């Protein structure tokens, strides 16, 4: 065999080793870069490549071992062949030149380029690569087993758990990030619903409660004519029936039951009480996702909210919770919300007892919901006192002007959705 033939064969083998090294490098990067949730979805749909890769990733330690064994083997072989090529060309090994040239070739053609392509197109690389990896894993399993066991012993000696943890288990905040990053591919309404669903755990019934002073209820001690008139004007499906005070609720009355009584001409106080259902009490600190499950489990749609002393604070309904997810069930929220009245100057006249979350949802605002639940509570919290009328308050991105204060409570406030209002009174108490 001539030197030219020998050199040509060495070069061909060297190129083959570089290609093999590129294969192992790209396989490793592509396998680790795959979207695990998309992979699981495709695997369940029966995509062959996804099923093969999922099988390999069930034992990531074995997968990494076979890739590294193969990659190191072909790289060492490439180094030996490069040395042989140098001897043929220069008559001696020339280790420095050989090392420099080999490093450049391996970096460009067997590491950086294939790994970059694999990172950009993981599915296109991982699925076909899995064919050979499965075969190699079966053929070289004894070597892989030895390498893994020795490695696991060293890992335990260093104080680490060889089982590791499930790094692909998304936390709630990580899931929220995924949803936000996918917002361009989701309709706005669906994106909002997903985020609202994730936020249910952070929101309690106290955040969406219909406060005590806003509850529509029937005082059974009133005259029957007054009760019937109240029922006739009621716009709710269910209302509490109480005796003298809301802390003494007898039961919950469904308007459908009233219709039945009217039809039978048996409507009186006793009949009304008989048609009520048992009151379902819940603590104010109950998270919304828990309460949604409880409503579903108990097949109920209304609950009476009590504080730590057992005093009735208000009510919450299944519809209130669903509105936290899908938004209001009405079309023009600002117009239908009786607590919000649009003004000609771009401001809104808002009832002091209005819930801040309802205002934010109705007007797409971002008033602070971390503390007080109502506009009155928010302004009193900021001012640290009960203000006089005509006091102006600058909020973050908003300007509020107090219109009416009555019975130690801000009854009406005018809010502009900007801080362009200039004449703001400093109402903070001076020391």
pLDDT, tens digit, 9 for 90 and up, residues 369-389: 777 888 888 898 888 888 877
The whole-number average pLDDT for the span 120-144 is 93
Q: pLDDT at residue 282 above 80?
A: yes
The whole-number average pLDDT for the span 47-56 is 92
The whole-number average pLDDT for the span 165-188 is 71
Residue 8: Cβ within 10 Å count? 11
Please state, in angstroms and rounded to a whole number, the distance separating the CA atoms of residues 153 and 89.
45
Average pLDDT, the chain: 84
Identify the bridge partners of residue 196 per DSSP, sorted by sequence position: none
pTM: 0.61
What pLDDT score does 426 carry? 41
Q: pLDDT at residue 330 above 90?
A: no
E strand segments, 237-291:
238-243, 245-254, 281-283
Q: Which residue has the higher pLDDT, 353 or 72?
A: 72
What pLDDT score does 425 carry? 42
Helix and strand counts by DSSP (H, E) for the chain: 19, 12
Radius of gyration of the chain (CA): 36
236 with 255: CB under 8 angstroms? yes
Give the pLDDT band of residue 357 (cuts 50, 70, 90). confident
Domains, the chain, ranges and CATH? 3-157 (no CATH), 205-326 (3.10.580.10), 333-416 (3.30.465.10)
What pLDDT score does 21 carry? 94
Q: pLDDT at residue 424 above 60?
A: no
Residue 191: strand, helix, or coil = helix
What pLDDT score does 64 carry? 92
Q: Give the end-to-end CA distance of the chain in Å, rounded to a whole number.
A: 102
E strand segments, 132-212:
210-211
312 with 249: CB under 8 angstroms? yes
Per DSSP, the residues of 25-53 read HHHHHHHHHS-HHHHHHHHHHT-HHHHHH
Give the pLDDT band of residue 336 (cuts 50, 70, 90). low
Please state, in angstroms and rounded to a whole number, the distance separating the CA atoms of residues 397 and 360.
13
What pLDDT score does 139 carry? 93
Give the pLDDT band of residue 95 (cuts 50, 70, 90). confident
Question: Which residues does 141 contact at the CB level (< 8 Å), separation at least 6?
Answer: none
Question: Starting at the edge strand that comes first in sequence, how are the strands of the sheet with 210-211 ordered?
Answer: 210-211, 312-317, 302-306, 281-283
- Region of 264 (left: φ > 0; alpha: ψ -120 to 50; beta: rest) is alpha
């Amino acid at each position: 065999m001539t030197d030219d033939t020998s050199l040509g064969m060495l070069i061909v083998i060297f190129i083959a080793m570089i290609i093999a090294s590129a294969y192992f490098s790209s396989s490793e990067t592509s396998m680790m870069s795959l979207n695990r949730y998309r992979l699981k979805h495709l695997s369940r749909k029966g995509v062959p490549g996804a099923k093969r890769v999922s099988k390999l990733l069930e034992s990531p330690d074995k997968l990494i071992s076979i890739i590294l064994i193969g990659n190191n083997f072909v790289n060492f072989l490439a180094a030996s062949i490069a040395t042989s090529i140098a001897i043929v060309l220069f008559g001696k090994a020339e280790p420095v030149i050989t090392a420099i040239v080999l490093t450049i070739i391996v970096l460009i053609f067997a590491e950086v380029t294939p790994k970059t392509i694999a990172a950009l197109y993981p599915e296109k690389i991982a699925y076909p690569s899995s064919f050979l990896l499965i075969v190699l894993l079966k053929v070289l399993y004894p070597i892989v087993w030895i390498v893994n066991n020795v490695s696991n012993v060293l890992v335990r000696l260093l104080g680490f758990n060889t089982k590791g943890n499930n790094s692909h288990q998304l936390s709630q905040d990580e899931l929220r990030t995924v949803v936000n990053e996918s917002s361009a591919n989701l309709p706005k309404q669906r994106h909002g619903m997903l985020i609202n669903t994730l936020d249910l755990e952070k929101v309690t019934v106290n955040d969406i409660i219909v406060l005590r002073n806003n509850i529509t209820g029937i005082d059974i001690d009133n005259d029957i004519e007054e009760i019937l008139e109240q029922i006739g004007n009621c716009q709710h499906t269910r209302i509490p029936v109480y005796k003298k005070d809301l802390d003494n609720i007898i039961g919950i009355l469904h308007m459908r039951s009233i219709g039945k009584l009217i039809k039978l001409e048996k409507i009186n106080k006793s009949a009304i009480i008989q048609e009520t259902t048992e009151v379902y009490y819940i603590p104010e600190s109950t998270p919304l996702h828990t309460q949604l499950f409880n409503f579903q489990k108990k097949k109920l749609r209304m609950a009476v909210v009590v504080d730590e002393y057992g005093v009735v604070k208000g009510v919450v309904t299944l519809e209130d919770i669903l509105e936290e997810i899908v938004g209001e069930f009405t079309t023009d929220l600002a117009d239908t919300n009786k607590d919000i009245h649009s003004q000609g100057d771009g401001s809104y006249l808002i009832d002091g007892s209005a819930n801040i979350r309802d205002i934010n949802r109705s007007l797409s605002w971002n008033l602070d919901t971390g503390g007080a639940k109502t506009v009155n509570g928010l302004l009193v919290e900021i001012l640290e006192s009960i203000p006089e009328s005509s006091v102006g308050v600058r909020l973050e991105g908003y300007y509020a002007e107090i219109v009416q204060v009555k019975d130690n409570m801000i009854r009406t406030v005018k809010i502009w959705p900007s801080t362009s209002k200039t004449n703001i009174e400093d109402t903070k108490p001076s020391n």
